[in-house]
């Protein structure tokens, strides 16, 4: 995938163009391997709103994929 600027060009511009490249970019991982980003700018999460979000995800699922990066120690 080229490194050209893809902002404003739609989600298709962010996706790999061929299957070999897709295998390098996308992976499945166990949820227990995901940890919070220590540089997360949001430091406060309203418990009621977080519970509403969890209930909505449980009921309807997640429309957008989660974006994660591989880190140290296979996390």
Domain span including residue 43: 11-70
Residue 22 belongs to a domain: yes
Q: Under a CB-based contact definition with an 8 Å cutoff, are residues 15 and 6 in contact?
A: no
Taking the model in full, what pTM does it have?
Answer: 0.44
Domain count for the chain, please give it.
1
Give the mean pLDDT of 57-74.
Answer: 83
| Residues 36-62 pLDDT 10s | 888 889 889 999 999 999 999 999 998
33: which residues sit within 8 A by CB, 6+ positions away?
74, 75
Residue 58 belongs to a domain: yes
Residue 55 belongs to a domain: yes
Tell how far CA 19 is from the center of its chain: 20
Residue 42 belongs to a domain: yes
Residue 4 belongs to a domain: no
24: which residues sit within 8 A by CB, 6+ positions away?
16
Sequence-ordered alpha helix ranges (H) in the chain: 19-25, 47-60
Residue 34 belongs to a domain: yes
Residue 63 belongs to a domain: yes
Q: Of 40, 27, 38, whose CA–CA distance to 66 is shortest?
A: 27
């Amino acid at each position: 995938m080229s490194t050209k600027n893809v902002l404003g060009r739609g989600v298709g511009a962010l996706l790999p163009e061929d299957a070999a490249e897709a295998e390098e970019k996308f992976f499945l991982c166990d949820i227990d391997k995901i940890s919070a980003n220590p540089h997360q700018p949001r430091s406060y999460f309203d418990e009621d709103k977080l519970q509403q979000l969890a209930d909505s995800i449980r009921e309807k699922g997640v429309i957008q994929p989660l974006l994660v990066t591989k880190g140290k120690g296979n996390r």
